[in-house]
Amino acid sequence: DAGVTQSPTHLIKTRGQHVTLRCSPISGHKSVSWYQQVLGQGPQFIFQYYEKEERGRGNFPDRFSARQFPNYSSELNVNALLLGDSALYLCASSLKTVGTEAFFGQGTRLTVV
Amino acid sequence: AQSVTQLDSQVPVFEEAPVELRCNYSSSVSVYLFWYVQYPNQGLQLLLKYLSGSTLVKGINGFEAEFNKSQTSFHLRKPSVHISDTAEYFCAVSDPGPGGSQGNLIFGKGTKLSVKP
């Protein structure tokens, strides 16, 4: 079975641009979460979606948004990119929101120049 | 807000020696606890988790962790490490969000384990 897949794997953007990152969860998983991992730090929670509804939001500005589609795949959008948005963006899927293992994708490495 | 403290940013150890990676969390309420491993340029892989029950949790690759509620700790141990265990290890706690959801993970800053021959 395929694991969590994220695209693209690497991305270079210019300050002020917009970016869309994509995530396909494991088949049967209805919950998708997004995390930002800055170099040398642990992942920080951005969003969680379950059954297409937002179930949680971390401490990130409104430039960050996400959505989940009927097939449970998800997109993370970031507007007006800043240099500080450069990070590894990780997507995790799980069966439910509570107490079940989160499976992580390989991540998308975003570099803002 | 909950927080996770990993007390050592780097742990060097010789092959076949035992290792302990320390983790403390801030919450006094019931939480779920996790240890993840991250190899270079890869995502996170779950090593083990504590949800309830026995305080000694066994995971993959010979790792185990002990949940200590009174000390709010969840230290990771392995009796004999291999070169292939060289990686970064993250302790995480689930955050009970709105409506009882506990899916949000709060991570520590990570501990880099370096196993030397």
Q: Can you give the pLDDT of all 117 residues of chain B as single tens digits? A: 778 999 999 999 999 999 999 999 987 677 889 999 999 888 899 999 988 888 899 999 999 999 998 999 999 999 999 999 999 999 999 865 554 444 688 899 999 999 999
Domain of A24 in residue numbering reads as 5-102
pLDDT at A1 over 80: no
Contact A13, A109 (CB under 8 A): no
User: For A37-84, what is each residue's pLDDT tens digit?
Assistant: 999 899 999 999 998 999 889 999 999 999 999 999 999 999 999 999
Residue of B44, B51, B57, B101 to mutate, interface with A, max A Cβ within 10 Å: B44
According to the model, what pLDDT value does residue A34 have?
Answer: 96
Considering its fold, how many domains does chain A have in total?
Answer: 1
CATH of the domain spanning B4-116:
2.60.40.10
Contact flag A45-B102 (C-beta cutoff 8 Å) = no
With pLDDT > 90 as the criterion, what percentage of chain A qualifies?
Answer: 82
Question: In B, which residues are within 8 Å of A55 by CB distance?
Answer: 97-99, 101, 103
Shortest CA distance to B104 belongs to which of A98, A22, A38?
Answer: A98
pLDDT band at A98 (very low <50, low <70, confident <90, very high): low
According to the model, what pLDDT value does residue B90 have?
Answer: 97
Q: How many angstroms separate the CA atoms of B4 and A58, rounded?
A: 16
Looking at the partner chain, which of B92, B95, B102 has a beta carbon nearest the beta carbon of A99?
A: B102
According to the model, what pLDDT value does residue B116 have?
Answer: 96
Residue A56 lies in a domain: yes
CATH code for the domain of A68: 2.60.40.10
Contact flag B32-A4 (C-beta cutoff 8 Å) = no
Beta-strand pair A64-68/A74-78: antiparallel
According to the model, what pLDDT value does residue A12 have?
Answer: 98
Q: What angle do CA B89, B49, B69 make, to 5 degrees?
A: 100
Residue A113 lies in a domain: no
pLDDT band at A33 (very low <50, low <70, confident <90, very high): very high
Residue A108 lies in a domain: no
Beta-carbon contacts of A18 under 8 Å, excluding residues fewer than 6 positions away, are A77, A78, A79, A80, A81
pLDDT band at A35 (very low <50, low <70, confident <90, very high): very high
Residue A109 lies in a domain: no
Residue A107 lies in a domain: no
Residue of A23, A98, A109, A111 to mutate, interface with B, max B Cβ within 10 Å: A98
Contact flag A104-B45 (C-beta cutoff 8 Å) = yes
Contact B67, B77 (CB under 8 A): no
Question: In A, which residues are within 8 Å of B109 by CB distance?
Answer: 40-42
Alpha-carbon distance B51 to nearest alpha carbon in chain A (angstroms): 7
